[in-house]
Structure 1
């Protein structure tokens, strides 16, 4: 499930993903981030993973392809998670993002949000 967080504004998209991610969740994410990229030329992203237990492989592949095509249109990207494979995913996708991806643990979520918003 994808939830848009209230910190979303202007060129920044803040989302929390949990449970099972579906094609529809990824479609909504891509639509929201694409709108920001189109309007502002780039987009900052806060991406929090909480109790995430399944991602449909086809949806994840589509999202990876989107990131490969649009990676240079991302500004600061923070991925916040609670499992080792989430940090691995952040490290794997980091090279295709213009400024890379910084991984934070759930206990560091406030630092992650501040970093995406302000950079520190």
Structure 2
């Protein structure tokens, strides 16, 4: 039996008064605890913004999926802040990740795309920043 590896990193950068870049990298399955870390950080970054726009760089290359409770957390995050998401660039190449990207657009106000290379994703995010 193989050893299970889980990792989750997040960074948030404010760009000006109304824009936030959320960078995520996940390994293994996303867990409820990951959202307990992410959500307060994001809410803090958005505090005081009147019309925030959130751009996301999500490195999914080592992501294996979501635990059920984490999937629920993801849905709640999308329902609460979905209209604030401007661009979501996902880095991955698995077929299920492409499907997740398409489904994700149902819950955000902006655009989501999947890229095989991180550099391509960053270039797309910078186009309108």
TM over 0.5: yes
Contact 1:22 1:55 in 2 (8 A): yes
Q: Which residue of 2 aligns with 1:65?
A: 76
Total equivalences in the alignment: 116
Q: Which runs of 5+ in 1 are unaligned?
A: none
* The structure with more radius of gyration: 2
User: Any gaps of 5 or more consecutive residues in structure 2?
Assistant: 1-6, 15-19
Partner of 2:32: 23
Structure 1 equivalent of residue 23 of structure 2: 14
Runs ≥4 residues deviating over 4 A? none
Question: Are the counterparts in 2 of residues 36 and 43 from structure 1 also a CA contact under 8 Å?
Answer: no
CA distance in 2, matches of 1:46, 1:112: 7
SS in 2 for 1:78: strand
Q: What's the CA shift string for 1:29-85, capped at 9, x where partnerless?
A: 222333333344221111111222242111111211220221101121111113111
Contact 1:12/1:36 (8 A) holds in 2: no
TM score, norm. by length of structure 2: 0.77
Q: Tell me the CA shift for residue 118 of structure 1.
A: 3.1
Q: Could you tell me the TM-score, scaled by structure 1's length? A: 0.82
Indicate if the aligned counterparts of 2:31 and 2:69 stay in contact, CA closer than 8 A. Answer: no
Contact 1:79 1:90 in 2 (8 A): yes
Superposition pairs for residues 1-120 of structure 1, below 5 Å?
Answer: 1-4=7-10, 8-10=12-14, 11-40=20-49, 41-105=52-116, 108-119=117-128
Assess if the C-alpha contact under 8 Å between 1:77 and 1:101 holds in 2.
yes
